[in-house]
A = this chain, B = another copy of it.
């Protein structure tokens, strides 16, 4: 059955390109490829996109709304950062010039914070989606991932935010450091909780506890799932210790991949947080739809 999109949403990150065929707020079809920013050079964006969405196009030009690294300086078109405090989506998306006549591509600007210096691209769209579904919501959003974002949201604006490299650190340490010999697949809730407790209460100990994972394995043959979960716990605990000024006493919504979101939500609940988990793709689509409404 052939799909014809009224408009197309695109989430274009560093490693993945995801496209969504939309009819109003209804998702008709999805497609994805590994042609993320990291694999594309200038001039390659249009072909990578058309490869995925060509079958969804009709006779007239179809609007494409894209968020993520595609708007970076090295992306398809630069969509300059908006400084917080600001609405998650402001100003309106930047149009890519001189595209194939069948598409009109608009790229959502990212957000920046002057002090402390911080940036986001892509998450602002999920935040906008969340706020479009939860108008006037006041609290803290946690968007876990390679670079986890914590954002304070109030009066329909992003007030401030902070980025933590927790996911990237986990990946580097588990796959490329000396810990790769001890960390394997699987999961152990208890080891995660124990690791998290260490760094949440004494965050300075992260630096010494990391090598302890390797040493424990050498001396006591730790199961590799335990090592993996402890590493994750140590890193998440350190992040929660540092982000405490964000989440303490606030209502919290976690927006991310299901499994990772659950890990953060459980950890925050254990600290007495009031936490809900929200589907990440739903928020992306709601945010892209909100961005489309800005086109006028």
- A residues with CB within 8 A of B: 81, 112-114, 116-119, 147, 162-166, 168-169, 172-173, 176-178, 203-212, 214-216, 218-220, 235, 238-239, 241-244
Contacts and interface: CB of A to CB of B under 8 A. Distances in A.
Contact of A207 (B117, B208, B239): B239
Contacts of A164: 207-208, 211
Given A165-B178, A210-B165, A242-B204, A118 B215 contact: yes
A239 B112 CA distance: 30
Given A165-B177, A172-B173, A212 B116 contact: yes
A208 to B, nearest CB: 5
A144 to B, nearest CB: 13
Given A203-B203, A204-B203, A168 B163 contact: no
Given A165-B207, A204-B238, A219 B114 contact: yes
A147 B207 CA distance: 11
Contact of A117 (B114, B116, B117, B215): B215
Nearest to A74: B181
A164 B218 CA distance: 16
Given A165-B210, A211-B164, A204 B119 contact: no
A147 B178 contact: yes
Given A212-B118, A215-B117, A218-B119, A172 B165 contact: no
A143 to B, nearest CB: 13
Given A208-B243, A219-B119, A243-B208, A168 B178 contact: yes
A177 B166 contact: no
Nearest to A179: B165
A172 B178 contact: no
Nearest to A203: B204
A168 to B, nearest CB: 5
B208 A206 contact: no
A165 to B, nearest CB: 5
A239 B216 CA distance: 20
A92 B81 CA distance: 64
A241 B113 CA distance: 28
Nearest to A173: B172
A176 B172 CA distance: 8
B117 A212 contact: yes
B207 A166 contact: yes
A214 B113 CA distance: 13
A276 to B, nearest CB: 24
A139 to B, nearest CB: 19
5 contacts: A165-B207, A166-B207, A203-B206, A204-B204, A204-B242
